[in-house]
Amino acid sequence: MTQVGEPRTEAGAALERVPHWIGGARVAGRSGRFGPVYDPAVGAIARTVDFASVEEVDAVVASAAAAFPAWRATSLSKRTEILFRIRNLVEAHRTEIAAHLTAEHGKVTSDALGEIARGLENLEFACGIPTLMKGGFSEQASTGVDVYQIRQPLGVVAGITPFNFPAMVPIWMFGNALACGNTFILKPSEKDPSAALLMAELLAEAGVPAGVFNVVQGDRVAVDRLLEHPAIAAVSFVGSTPIARHIYETATRNGKRVQALGGAKNHMLVLPDADIDMAADAAVSAGYGSAGERCMAIATIVAVGDVADPLIEAIRARVPRVTVGPGTDPASQMGPLVTRQHMEKVASYLESAPRQGATLVADGREHPLHRAGVGFFLGASLIDHVDAGMDCYRDEIFGPVLTVIRVRTYEEGVRLINANPYGNGAAIFTRDGGAGRRFQFEVNAGMVGINVPIPVPVAYYSFGGWKASLFGDLHMYGPEGIQFYTRAKVVTSRWPDPGTSSVDLGFPRTR
Ligand code: NAD
């Protein structure tokens, strides 16, 4: 939602504005356009965020381009030293960053701290940049000739991030991008923009020179300018599939390197031999954690054979014990959804699913906080007897709703998962090692869990889905992140003695 004019509270007082970060300082927007930032636990606008104009984006890009030559020439050891300092400052300020996440996203404090912990792992990986950027050397590739490969940064790179991980996903990108010697422009989600600004301040304190890391706040206007700006070399994106497709198509058409991670519909296949309690605990944790607003959340349980009844009963019994409340309350396990509009969309599937023939086992609309209408709360929900044609299966709900599809066999379950257009994560729960190994071989998903419901790779592997969950060739962070943010240069070199050369117009025939 874009607004123009002066942001004010309902009582008329001026609202706090979240500005840009350009050239190493906070810069107030001048476009006159801004958007609301809600406190999802109370359901009111808490502040506003400036929306950049094309001219403001151009100013950010100019700042990042001007900073690039000096940053790429900064020694690996100096960049490493700065990265260590960033890592330590993020850790030292994790409670403050987490408070922003809870205030604007709504996630509970323990979950926000977990998000930062995973971000720290990515920064720790980036601290190994001297090793990660090592090239290769072939001595005497031909007589007296050496060939070697070096990796160099791309230039100015942009990251466009979603609302659900306002700290971790930017870190996935900027840790490696800066380590490799690029300058970086972050366009955070307009729903929860404050954590990005705090991180910008920490980066400056760590010694990142002005212009090397920038934050441009905004909406489609800012994004589309980044996608077409000739000085942007590469774009990393994480968000929903329709926007990921738009980013990929537009930025590649403009000659940029792109990795665009999209939405998901993650399945958990439960075989009859699975430990019911373990599977139910995993389904509840992975389905309702962060109110289901995780790209790796379990959305659909695929129950094989006679495991369905006891498994659904075990999940149903756990649902009332999921404590829903404000993210700041240490007793809360699940906070509100990010906006009223999103909450209403999620709740609409609880309406449509029974109409389409499913069974609503637990209805989150009955939760007292949802009924009270204060904040964007919705209780944990469970829908059984879902089939592949129903809206609650076809769409990415991105809320605290677990759907269950019953199948007769393992083969039927894998066919269902592989036919789904998304391919982010997929998990199997079984006590049978052979079945687990077969699943890892057969399933069409980028990240696979065996008795692990949310198989987010550790920072020294890379993160990415298949099918409509990723557009582009390289996964994010880890070794593929380094590959994404650098390009190879191969040097062929010889130092012959003077007087030993002759003219030869042919291709070399001798070795
Ligand atoms: P979103 O696609 O609405 O927004 C993502 C970013 O794109 C934001 O910065 C937003 O400002 C920008 N944007 C939105 N509409 C745009 C438009 N029309 N043109 C240009 N830019 C636009 O996603 P979201 O709602 O913020 O995040 C939730 C989605 O992200 C879910 O689909 C979730 O699965 C996905 N996600 C995926 C991963 C992954 O790793 N695959 C990780 C986290 C989230």
Question: Which position has the token pair 């104009």?
Answer: 53
Ligand 1 centroid distance, CA of 79 (Å):
30
CB 17 within 8 A of CB 50: yes
Question: Which position has the token pair 């009223």?
Answer: 340
Return the domain boundaries, the chain. Answer: 3-262+469-490, 266-450
Ligand 1 centroid distance, CA of 242 (Å):
9
Look at ligand 1, atom 24, and give the residue with the nearest C-alpha.
162
Question: Which position has the token pair 């001007």?
Answer: 66
H-helix or E-strand spanning residue 338: none
Contacts of 404 (CB under 8 A, 6+ apart): 300, 301, 302, 303, 308, 312, 382, 383, 384, 385, 386
264 lines ligand 1 (CB under 6 A): yes
Which amino acid is it at 435? Answer: A
469 lines ligand 1 (CB under 6 A): yes
Question: Which position has the token pair 């380094």?
Answer: 482
Ligand 1 centroid distance, CA of 65 (Å):
26
CB 235 within 8 A of CB 258: yes
**Where in the sequence numbering do the catalytic residues fall?**
295
Contacts of 472 (CB under 8 A, 6+ apart): 248, 258, 259, 260
315 lines ligand 1 (CB under 6 A): no
Collapsed DSSP state (helix, strand, coil) of residue 83: helix
Question: Which position has the token pair 């690996």?
Answer: 76
CB 395 within 8 A of CB 349: yes
Q: Lay out the sheet containing 486-494: strands in order across.
A: 136-142, 145-153, 486-494
pTM score of the predicted model: 0.97
Q: Give the separation between CA 205 and CA 227, rounded to whole angstroms.
A: 29
454 lines ligand 1 (CB under 6 A): no
Backbone angles phi, psi at 317, to 5 degrees: -65, -30
Contacts of 291 (CB under 8 A, 6+ apart): 106, 107, 334, 335, 336, 337, 378, 399, 400
Q: Lay out the sheet containing 213-215: strands in order across.
A: 25-27, 20-22, 213-215, 183-187, 156-160, 232-238, 257-261, 470-471
Give the pairing of strands 257-261 and 232-238: parallel
Tell me the Cα Rg of the chain: 25
The tens digit of pLDDT for each residue in 114-135 reads 999 999 999 999 999 999 999 9
Token readout for 266 is 């993650």
Q: What pLDDT is attached to residue 508?
A: 78
Letter string b/e over residues 417-438, b meaning 16 or more CB atoms within 10 A of that residue's CB: bbebebbbbbbbbbeeeebbeb
CB 209 within 8 A of CB 178: no
The tens digit of pLDDT for each residue in 130-185 reads 999 999 999 999 999 999 999 999 999 999 999 999 999 999 999 999 999 999 99
Ligand 1 centroid distance, CA of 465 (Å):
15
Q: Give the separation between CA 284 and CA 282, rounded to whole angstroms.
A: 6
172 lines ligand 1 (CB under 6 A): no
Q: What pLDDT is attached to residue 14?
A: 81
Q: Give the separation between CA 297 and CA 295, rounded to whole angstroms.
A: 6
Q: Would you identify the CATH topology of the domain 266-450?
A: Aldehyde Dehydrogenase; Chain A, domain 2 (3.40.309)
**Tens digit of pLDDT at every position of the chain (511 positions):** 566 666 665 555 689 999 999 999 999 999 999 999 999 999 999 999 999 999 999 999 999 999 999 999 999 999 999 999 999 999 999 999 999 999 999 999 999 999 999 999 999 999 999 999 999 999 999 999 999 999 999 999 999 999 999 999 999 999 999 999 999 999 999 999 999 999 999 999 999 999 999 999 999 999 999 999 999 999 999 999 999 999 999 999 999 999 999 999 999 999 999 999 999 999 999 999 999 999 999 999 999 999 999 999 999 999 999 999 999 999 999 999 999 999 999 999 999 999 999 999 999 999 999 999 999 999 999 999 999 999 999 999 999 999 999 999 999 999 999 999 999 999 999 999 999 999 999 999 999 999 999 999 999 999 999 999 999 999 999 999 999 999 999 999 999 999 999 998 998 776 7
DSSP state of 41: T
CA distances from 64 to 109, 214, 232 (A): 33, 7, 9
The tens digit of pLDDT for each residue in 412-466 reads 999 999 999 999 999 999 999 999 999 999 999 999 999 999 999 999 999 999 9
DSSP 470-491: EESSS-BSHHHHHHHTEEEEEE
Q: What pLDDT is attached to residue 7?
A: 60
Look at ligand 1, atom 28, and give the residue with the nearest C-alpha.
239
Q: Give the separation between CA 388 and CA 443, rounded to whole angstroms.
A: 17
Q: Would you identify the CATH topology of the domain 3-262+469-490?
A: Aldehyde Dehydrogenase; Chain A, domain 1 (3.40.605)
